[in-house]
Structure 1
Amino acid sequence: MLLVPGDPLNPRRDDPHFAAQAAAARAAGVPVNRVDHDALVRATQDNGEAAAAVAGVPASEDAVYRGWMLSSAQYAALAEALEARGVHLRTSAEEYRTAHELPGWYDALRSVTPESVWTEGSDLVDLVKAARGLGAGAGVLRDHVKSMKHHWSEACYLPDVLDDAAVERIGARFLELRDDAFTGGFVVRRFEEFTGAEARTWWIGGRCVLTTPHPDTPDELPTGLDLIEIEPLVAELALPFVTVDVIRRTDGAWRVVELGDGQVSDWPATADPAELVSALFQPGR
């Protein structure tokens, strides 16, 4: 079964952003059902909201969600509400959190991703202390889930991680912009120089099954992609469905920018959603 969000303006229709994927699933004979994303967002405050979000979803031994990003707590509420209806999500709540939050996957991919330190919580003093742990040089700021890269100079890029005043100022602006969406704690990653386009790779059962452009650059796909160092590390994580965003560093090495749960990773507009459906639901998955 494929689960997609319903259209907030008409719950009897699929959310327009995921409608093409839902249509491709139906064309392939995969049952599609809708969940109420707005109710899921409220689920951590009221457990009844999660049950309401999945009302009407029939039982299924294997369900995959393709929808808007959920916090780990919201996904756990979704999984619990579905289990009560006899629906088993392919990705457990624990597996979702491992993929969704950087501290869950960082150690496994340490050798192929920028060096990172993090805090638990939003204390700016803790952020300054953590940043010092990287030593001299530039860094990139984010939380356990997301950066504010579109606000690069004011809330993302740290020219010198040892400049306490600048780190605190940029951290404060990051908190302001992320607001209620701030998740887990601060993460400071060592800045690395990249070149060329970023690729989004799609992994099922620890194996890369698709390579697409990154949704931010849907018309650009890097050439010569080499996953030889990355593949065994992702396989070792043993996660059911993830994406790994990779890009070439200026010295030629392929580096992991991000690992994320595949259920909430955006699909590029230039790629055929039937390819994703086929990969997810072919026999034996």
Structure 2
Amino acid sequence: MILLVPANPLRPRHPDEHFAAEAQAARAAGLDVAVVDHDALAGGGDARRAVATVSGSGMAVYRGWMLRSEQYATFAEMLAERGVVLRTDGEQYRRAHELPGWYSALAAVTPPSVWTTGAERADFDRARVELGAGPAVLRDYSKSMKHYWDEAAFIPDLEDGAAAWSVARRFLELRDDDFVGGFVLRRFERFASAEVRTWWVDGACVLIGPHPDSPNDSAQVEIDLAPIAPLIAGLGLPFVTVDLALRTDGVWRVVELGDGQVSDRPTTIEPQAMIEALLVRAR
């Protein structure tokens, strides 16, 4: 097994500082570690050059910065030319990374959602009417702007088309060239807990911890994974994270599913714990 991490832009033969601890833990666990040029992959540069320092052959897992689905597919292709196979292929990455890829399988345990293809006002209005009146949260296929909650994420009432579009327009301004796929409107639900990040390998939950946005907050009640586990297993995805929150009625809900390779690790989870749970199990 090879762990691939982004290179430090100032020291290209060394891991990026954000992933250096995981790289060190992987080496200690007996895994090979190689660096890749994330900027070349994400910026439309020479993808072959981005993986030029990867040697060896066999299965690999990436732990790094987010890539668009098409960038990840190119990444996988360039590695395959060198005899290295990403354990998560391009199609699997897209299904995990973009909400339309996983939503239908988890519809029973996540807020009702509708989406558009593209960013046209008419398509947004159609989706808004389809979801129906009431509060909603806006995002695109891969990301929300929750840190701009009032101006670019929360829509108090979808029935107010002008106000809803004002939020969507601000979202587009903030996402700019990073906008992915189309608008996603998700029914707003009230939660009584901080988000919990769970990590899954081959459909089995291998690690539970806080969300990176609130690394010191732990769940105050036991998490019930029973309704969720068979649905995650049914997706057939090798390595994902599932963010959960406790709704005010006491039901655990899926807030987000993401590809585990580009999901951040909260600072309160030791890198050794994640490497052992996720990568060594994946051998």
TM-score with structure 1 length normalisation? 0.97
Superposed CA deviations along residues 116-154 of structure 1, whole A, max 9, x for unmatched, are: 000000112211110111112100000000000011111
Q: Percent identity?
A: 60
CA deviation after TM superposition for structure 1 residue 187, in Å: 0.1
Match for 1:32: what amino acid?
A: V
Contact residue 5 and residue 64 of structure 2 kept, 8 A: yes
Structure 1 residue aligned with 2:212: 215
Structure 2 residue aligned with 1:138: 135
Match for 2:184: what amino acid?
A: V
Match for 1:133: what amino acid?
A: E
> Secondary structure of the residue that 1:160 maps to in structure 2?
coil
Please tell me whether residue 11 in structure 1 is matched to residue 12 in structure 2.
Answer: yes
Structure 1 residue aligned with 2:36: 35
> Secondary structure of the residue that 1:5 maps to in structure 2?
strand
Structure 1 residue aligned with 2:22: 21
Match for 2:241: what amino acid?
A: T
Q: CA separation in 1, counterparts of 2:168 and 2:70?
A: 24
Residue from 259, 262, 267 that aligns with 1:269: 267
Contact residue 219 and residue 270 of structure 1 kept, 8 A: yes
Structure 2 residue aligned with 1:94: 91
Q: CA separation in 2, counterparts of 1:194 and 1:63?
A: 37
Please tell me whether residue 236 in structure 1 is matched to residue 241 in structure 2.
Answer: no
CA deviation after TM superposition for structure 1 residue 28, in Å: 1.0
Q: CA separation in 2, counterparts of 1:283 and 1:156?
A: 37
TM-score with structure 2 length normalisation? 0.97
> Secondary structure of the residue that 2:137 maps to in structure 1?
strand
> Secondary structure of the residue that 1:19 maps to in structure 2?
helix
Q: CA separation in 1, counterparts of 2:194 and 2:119?
A: 32
Unaligned runs of 5+ in 2: none
Q: CA separation in 2, counterparts of 1:207 and 1:9?
A: 38
CA deviation after TM superposition for structure 1 residue 283, in Å: 5.6
Contact residue 54 and residue 82 of structure 1 kept, 8 A: yes
Contact residue 61 and residue 279 of structure 2 kept, 8 A: no
Residue from 79, 95, 111 that aligns with 1:82: 79
CA deviation after TM superposition for structure 1 residue 11, in Å: 0.5
Structure 1 residue aligned with 2:100: 103
Q: CA separation in 2, counterparts of 1:173 and 1:283?
A: 42
CA deviation after TM superposition for structure 1 residue 56, in Å: 2.0
Q: CA separation in 1, counterparts of 2:20 and 2:254?
A: 30
CA deviation after TM superposition for structure 1 residue 98, in Å: 0.2
Q: CA separation in 2, counterparts of 1:160 and 1:113?
A: 19
Contact residue 136 and residue 185 of structure 2 kept, 8 A: yes
Q: CA separation in 2, counterparts of 1:181 and 1:282?
A: 33
Runs of 4+ off more than 6 Å:
none
Match for 1:110: what amino acid?
A: A
CA deviation after TM superposition for structure 1 residue 281, in Å: 3.2
Contact residue 201 and residue 282 of structure 2 kept, 8 A: no
Unaligned runs of 5+ in 1: none
Within 5 A, what are the aligned runs for 1:246-265? 246-265=244-263
Q: CA separation in 2, counterparts of 1:196 and 1:168?
A: 29
Superposed CA deviations along residues 14-60 of structure 1, whole A, max 9, x for unmatched, are: 100000000100111111000000000123xx5xx110000021132
Structure 2 residue aligned with 1:128: 125
Please tell me whether residue 187 in structure 1 is matched to residue 188 in structure 2.
Answer: no
Match for 2:84: what amino acid?
A: V
Match for 2:267: what amino acid?
A: A
Q: CA separation in 2, counterparts of 1:2 and 1:180?
A: 29
> Secondary structure of the residue that 1:133 maps to in structure 2?
helix
Please tell me whether residue 54 in structure 1 is matched to residue 55 in structure 2.
Answer: no
> Secondary structure of the residue that 1:70 maps to in structure 2?
coil
Structure 2 residue aligned with 1:118: 115
Q: CA separation in 2, counterparts of 1:283 and 1:273?
A: 15
